[in-house]
Structure 1
Amino acid sequence: MTSPTLEIDVAPEWGDDVDWESLANRAAEAISAEAAELANPDMLVSVVFADDEEVHVLNRQWRAKDKPTNVLSFPMLSREEVLRANEAGNRGAPVMLGDIVLARETCAREAAEKSVALAVHATHLVIHGLLHLAGHDHELGTAEAEEMEGLEVRALARLGIGDPYHS
């Protein structure tokens, strides 16, 4: 199975009880099986497992929201550019798809609220972030939100993880 090439950085706050790099790669493989535009090893993605402070700064700087959030996605390509990168003849040259940054404390709090393991919630957020990098946006309307949710649920099911939206 092919998926984007991930460059992963894990802050110490995430601990070493989970192999976060492997988790991110499995999440990328699962969503690539559902969203063909992501099944491209020439696409590069930076995944940062950060803390709330770092995400708070980024959220304030780039989204004018003065608070941490669970995950931020910074796409480098438009949806059309992502699709064009997968056309025959356009493969081979590495292309930066974007960056995903997860906030440890917010993710842990949300996981506890949902009564799921942090690793399960982080897997969902990596998948969610990758879809944003591919040009999906649940804030564009109900149809796009339902499409994105369906892709996430199917990718999570490939990993043996239940539907986070209807649990």
Structure 2
Amino acid sequence: MTQNMLSLEWIDEREDGAGAREEAWMELLEKLLRIAGDKEDVPRGIVTLTLTDDEGIRELNRQFRGLDKPTDVLSFSMLEGEEADINFDDEYEVIESEDSEEVGSTADPFADMLGDIVISVPRAEAQAEEYGHSFERELGFLFVHGFLHLLGYDHDDEEQEREMFAKQEEVLKEAGLTR
């Protein structure tokens, strides 16, 4: 395993803002980022996480997908791929960045940016209750799911879904977040 230098930056856009409970979440999510980064051989990078409410994520859905409804997680990848288009599905969405001009490798201030993950906290709370597991597990699931999307994983077909969800479960299990 490689020692990674991944970092997590976070923003809390909710009206109540961050408190002691959210500080504990960040420790958990940083741990998940390290585990997932090691497993995916991602030695460095910056992930920005935004915690929002249903209206905040609904506005992003409206702006970027033309869907006027809230969702649980959105991922905005900064990694350029062969297909730089917008990908999404009904339950877990990913929006990949459009082609952008390349900047000199050492001068590019965004060179280490992997992308942004946005999670609706109220939606995560409701889903945790619905699925009968802890909020921390649901938050972790959504975060790892979003991280894998940043790296280019998707679940457009059954085979891709099995692969992606197996990777998520492996990371969650190693972090002690079982159902």
TM-score, length-scaled by structure 1: 0.80
| Greater CA drift, 120-129 or 10-19 | 10-19
2:21 to 17, 22, 36: 17
Q: Confirm or deny: 8 A CA contact 1:13 1:51 kept in the other structure.
A: no
**Aligned partners of 2:128 and 2:117: how far apart in 1?**
18
Identity of aligned residues (%): 31
**Aligned partners of 1:116 and 1:14: how far apart in 2?**
23
1:32 is displaced (CA, Å) by 1.5
**Aligned partners of 2:125 and 2:17: how far apart in 1?**
11
In the alignment, structure 1 residue 45 sits paired with structure 2 residue 47: yes
Compared CA separation, residues 46 and 74, structure 1 to 2 (3 A):
same
**Aligned partners of 1:4 and 1:135: how far apart in 2?**
17
Q: Confirm or deny: 8 A CA contact 1:78 1:135 kept in the other structure.
A: no
| Greater CA drift, 72-81 or 105-114 | 72-81
Find runs of 4+ consecutive structure 1 residues off by over 4 angstroms: none
> Could you tell me which amino acid in structure 1 is paired with residue 21 of structure 2?
D
Matching residue of 1:137 = 154
> Could you tell me which amino acid in structure 2 is paired with residue 40 of structure 1?
P
1:79 is displaced (CA, Å) by 4.5
2:142 to 125, 128, 142: 125
TM-score, length-scaled by structure 2: 0.75
| Greater CA drift, 5-14 or 124-133 | 5-14
1:105 is displaced (CA, Å) by 1.1
Matching residue of 1:61 = 63
Structure number with the higher helix fraction is: 1
Matching residue of 1:5 = 7
Of structures 1 and 2, the one with the larger relative CO (CA 8 A, separation 6+) is 1
**Aligned partners of 1:67 and 1:113: how far apart in 2?**
19
Q: Confirm or deny: 8 A CA contact 1:79 1:136 kept in the other structure.
A: no
Q: Gaps spanning 5+ residues in structure 2: where? A: 85-104
